[in-house]
Chains A and B, each alone.
Chain A
């Protein structure tokens, strides 16, 4: 649809764009990204013939853009600019009607019935129909943006060029606008080239992206290919972390602020731990990055409080998450900052220890009750009555863990737990085979994310060895306490 070959150009004598080539296909939503001053707007203005071309050529539908007449070009390409002058207060309808200018011919350029119906349609599509008789200077920025979008659509173009279309829009309208654009590219085969400041929006919606830096093309490829952490850090010269979108298979870029004060490396200590009959709690000054299977705060996140709460063995609640939140609130915790776990096991049976290695350390807390021990390897359905019993493991590390290290720590911790259970000879009460855990076990890996970098947590790495040993010891100790109490009448 659009072929751009080795173009250079810009304002006056200075070439902003330097030897840029790319193609845009019909029906594509194509994004242009790059830091300020990288030539995004210049590129768009060169394509829309506002700025002259110094070298190279731009072809649309196989024909050089300079060969089109002003009106024919406007029938093919519409532009939604970043700013529009508004000296006089035209009504919304008058503004949108101007989009039909290129389609009207003859001396009087009267508005035909076809024009009129298109004008009505685009006003409805963009949701400005209800304001059609209001002057545009009385509308909000977002409404005005949609009026100019309606004007561009009234041109009935095959190609739509947008300069930061989401600029004045709030979140809901940003999504709405981009959803609509995406839909039009799919259904009406509209080709859209849009400049984005927001890399995440660009990544989410665009089929392909063009990344510019100082007037040169860095890369033009699919959005996940373009949005790579290293590349974005190089081009934008700022701290960025990439992260997968929770719902869509696209990469999102996260800014990393530089204000975090990393003075003290050791923030998790034994002294922070408070053990009562009712609960074990630990509060840290700085949030820990955690991966856990708690009742609240499960999954991945940042949390400052950790609660392992004792509940009665007959505890039964339809919405245990809500009940847990209420419990936390009542006891002075913020549920959104807290990883909460439950256990029917006696907390006094639990064990904790601090294990240390070269440059990092971990606090391990285990509570155990195995009335409900299960052999996971058999995968058998439970037939007998539920009996309380849970092993909850906390591994809180003073160190910086990678994502892999978190997952590997979970594996290592679990393996150590299984080993301790086997050594204590705990059996699945139903199958009478050696158990691997209970049916309601939870694990929490938390890390201060400061101090020593620990990239891996496998069983042969320093972190893995520390976690394995610590979890094994504490679990074994907790099980011993549990068994001792249960076997003595």
Chain B
């Protein structure tokens, strides 16, 4: 009886989408509402509508609320949502493509590249005249793209067909090398240590609409490309030869997926630092609940990843308020036990 219910539930992906969309909206409202000053949900909705639809006035709402919601909390919440969604969708795609449940968006070394860009900016105190405070994310994103192309170039030099093992190995080697560069700068630095560590652990504090403008186009382009490759990802989960037999142009599609996933990862790391766990665990979580079909796995992961990171950010800034914890710490601290519970429960159910 219960099994039947679970099956019906898993077959009906519609329910999955509805559930997760409600969760996203709810977490956005929750994240925007809670803080040192509490803002009621109705005010938030009013503010948002008045900003989006011209002509609608927000006179009824306290102007302090408008400032808090529109300039401080909402961009932060939306940014964490976008970062979470990007990492989760890229993680899901990489796991499918590399046929490795341990793969995550950082496997290719993109994050290390972005980190090197950011740490270099902090270490040398760089600030370009036009970019100002955006020097760091821009440098970081440029560094991440350079990394992708170097990694893929090397992988292709080693093995023309770019087998999965080659890609993973090349990624690991580059991550180690770039990681060592970061450690070197940390060792040499004095005053900027806290700033560097803080960035490396990941944070979405002190971010505004401009950061959203940086990540949003990459998020749209990256996720759309990945979603169009959902069937190819399904086919490649059965091995590249099998995918070829099924008619997939493996080499080309693989390159597209790697680049799209890396764009998402690079942009996410550039605006928020290396936030772990989301990209690794959210796709697993979705797979357990609704199956591995990438057509649904990718969008569902994006929704779940977004709301998960919004919640994690909420916890990180409220738990020892007024100071903040790094969000990367929170994701793992709450994520790992939840995941462990789901995994054991799932295994026990299967056996029973």
Q: Chain A interface (Cβ within 8 Å of chain B)?
A: 45, 48-50, 69-75, 77-79, 81, 84-91, 94-95, 98-99, 101-102, 104, 107, 109, 133, 135, 151-152, 155
**B242 contacts the other chain (CB 8 A):** yes
Write the nearest CB–CB distance from A360 to chain B, whole angstroms: 59
The chain B residue with its CB closest to the CB of A103 is B247
The chain B residue with its CB closest to the CB of A50 is B241
Inter-subunit contact B244/A90 (CB<8 Å): no
**B316 contacts the other chain (CB 8 A):** no
Provide a sorted-by-A list of 14 A–B residue pairs whose CB atoms are within 8 angstroms: A50-B245, A71-B249, A74-B247, A79-B245, A86-B238, A87-B99, A89-B291, A90-B291, A98-B231, A98-B234, A98-B238, A101-B235, A102-B247, A155-B247
**B207 contacts the other chain (CB 8 A):** no
Inter-subunit contact B237/A70 (CB<8 Å): no
Inter-subunit contact A84/B248 (CB<8 Å): no
**Bound CA span A374–B57, Å:** 124
Write the nearest CB–CB distance from A149 to chain B, whole angstroms: 13
Q: Which of A69, A84, A90 is within 8 Å of B293, CB to CB?
A: A90
* Number of residues of chain B lying within 8 A (CB) of chain A: 26
Q: Which of B100, B239, B245, B291 is within 8 Å of A91, CB to CB?
A: B291
A residues less than 8 Å from B245 (CB atoms)? 48, 50, 74, 77-79, 81, 152
Q: Which of A73, A89, A101 has the most B CB atoms < 10 Å from its CB?
A: A101
**Bound CA span A152–B291, Å:** 22
229-259 of chain B: CB within 8 A of chain A:
231, 234-235, 237-239, 241-242, 244-250
A residues less than 8 Å from B239 (CB atoms)? 81, 84-85
**B210 contacts the other chain (CB 8 A):** no
Inter-subunit contact A99/B234 (CB<8 Å): no
**Bound CA span A48–B246, Å:** 11
Indicate whether A101 sits within 8 Å of B247 (C-beta atoms), given known contacts A85-B237, A86-B238: yes
Inter-subunit contact B247/A109 (CB<8 Å): no
Inter-subunit contact A81/B246 (CB<8 Å): no
B residues less than 8 Å from A48 (CB atoms)? 244-245
**Bound CA span A87–B239, Å:** 9
Inter-subunit contact A74/B291 (CB<8 Å): no
Inter-subunit contact B293/A70 (CB<8 Å): no
Indicate whether A87 sits within 8 Å of B241 (C-beta atoms), given known contacts A70-B249, A75-B247, A107-B228: no
A residues less than 8 Å from B96 (CB atoms)? 88
Write the nearest CB–CB distance from B97 to chain A, whole angstroms: 10
**Bound CA span A98–B245, Å:** 11
**B40 contacts the other chain (CB 8 A):** no
B residues less than 8 Å from A81 (CB atoms)? 239, 241-242, 245
**Bound CA span A133–B292, Å:** 13
Inter-subunit contact A50/B228 (CB<8 Å): no
Write the nearest CB–CB distance from A472 to chain B, whole angstroms: 71
**Bound CA span A447–B244, Å:** 58
A residues less than 8 Å from B99 (CB atoms)? 85, 87
**Bound CA span A85–B293, Å:** 15
**Bound CA span A99–B245, Å:** 9
* Besides A45-B241, A155-B247, 9 new A-B residue pairs in contact (Cβ under 8 A), listed by A number: A50-B244, A70-B249, A71-B247, A85-B237, A87-B101, A90-B291, A90-B293, A98-B231, A102-B246
**B7 contacts the other chain (CB 8 A):** yes
Nearest 5 A-B pairs (CB), nearest first? A74-B247, A102-B247, A88-B292, A85-B239, A79-B245
A residues less than 8 Å from B101 (CB atoms)? 87
Q: Which of B238, B242, B247 is within 8 Å of A70, CB to CB?
A: B247
**Bound CA span A224–B237, Å:** 42
**Bound CA span A78–B242, Å:** 10
Write the nearest CB–CB distance from B246 to chain A, whole angstroms: 5
**B163 contacts the other chain (CB 8 A):** no
Write the nearest CB–CB distance from B333 to chain A, whole angstroms: 27
Q: Which of B238, B246, B287 is within 8 Å of A155, CB to CB?
A: B246
**B11 contacts the other chain (CB 8 A):** yes
Q: Which of B228, B242, B250 has the most A CB atoms < 10 Å from its CB?
A: B242
Write the nearest CB–CB distance from B110 to chain A, whole angstroms: 22
90-126 of chain B: CB within 8 A of chain A:
96, 99-101
Q: Which of A88, A101, A135, A151 is within 8 Å of B248, CB to CB?
A: A101
Inter-subunit contact A101/B231 (CB<8 Å): yes
**Bound CA span A45–B287, Å:** 32
The chain A residue with its CB closest to the CB of B238 is A84
Write the nearest CB–CB distance from B40 to chain A, whole angstroms: 41
**Bound CA span A77–B244, Å:** 11
**Bound CA span A107–B231, Å:** 11
**Bound CA span A88–B99, Å:** 8
The chain A residue with its CB closest to the CB of B242 is A84
B residues less than 8 Å from A99 (CB atoms)? 246
**Bound CA span A48–B250, Å:** 14
Q: Which of A48, A77, A98 has the most B CB atoms < 10 Å from its CB?
A: A98
**Bound CA span A155–B243, Å:** 12
Write the nearest CB–CB distance from A160 to chain B, whole angstroms: 11
Inter-subunit contact A133/B11 (CB<8 Å): yes
Q: Which of B7, B228, B231, B237 is within 8 Å of A133, CB to CB?
A: B7
**Bound CA span A87–B231, Å:** 16
Indicate whether A88 sits within 8 Å of B231 (C-beta atoms), given known contacts A81-B245, A133-B7: no
A residues less than 8 Å from B293 (CB atoms)? 90, 94
**Bound CA span A87–B228, Å:** 21
Indicate whether A88 sits within 8 Å of B241 (C-beta atoms), given known contacts A71-B247, A98-B235, A107-B228: no
**Bound CA span A284–B248, Å:** 66
Inter-subunit contact A94/B291 (CB<8 Å): yes
Inter-subunit contact A49/B244 (CB<8 Å): yes
The chain A residue with its CB closest to the CB of B292 is A88
A residues less than 8 Å from B11 (CB atoms)? 133
A residues less than 8 Å from B291 (CB atoms)? 89-91, 94, 135
**Bound CA span A140–B7, Å:** 21
**Bound CA span A72–B250, Å:** 14
Q: Which of B7, B100, B246, B247 is within 8 Å of A87, CB to CB?
A: B100
Q: Which of A50, A85, A104 is within 8 Å of B238, CB to CB?
A: A85
**Bound CA span A53–B87, Å:** 40
**Bound CA span A91–B293, Å:** 9
Inter-subunit contact B246/A98 (CB<8 Å): yes
**Bound CA span A109–B293, Å:** 14
Inter-subunit contact B244/A94 (CB<8 Å): no
A residues less than 8 Å from B228 (CB atoms)? 107
Write the nearest CB–CB distance from A133 to chain B, whole angstroms: 7
B residues less than 8 Å from A84 (CB atoms)? 238-239, 242
Inter-subunit contact B237/A87 (CB<8 Å): yes
B residues less than 8 Å from A86 (CB atoms)? 238
The chain B residue with its CB closest to the CB of A100 is B246
Write the nearest CB–CB distance from A54 to chain B, whole angstroms: 15
Q: Which of B234, B246, B250 has the most A CB atoms < 10 Å from its CB?
A: B246
**Bound CA span A70–B232, Å:** 12
Write the nearest CB–CB distance from B10 to chain A, whole angstroms: 9
Write the nearest CB–CB distance from A121 to chain B, whole angstroms: 18
Inter-subunit contact A109/B246 (CB<8 Å): no
Write the nearest CB–CB distance from A119 to chain B, whole angstroms: 14
**Bound CA span A90–B237, Å:** 9
The chain B residue with its CB closest to the CB of A91 is B291
Write the nearest CB–CB distance from A325 to chain B, whole angstroms: 49
B residues less than 8 Å from A90 (CB atoms)? 234, 237, 291-293
**Bound CA span A73–B248, Å:** 10
Inter-subunit contact B287/A85 (CB<8 Å): no
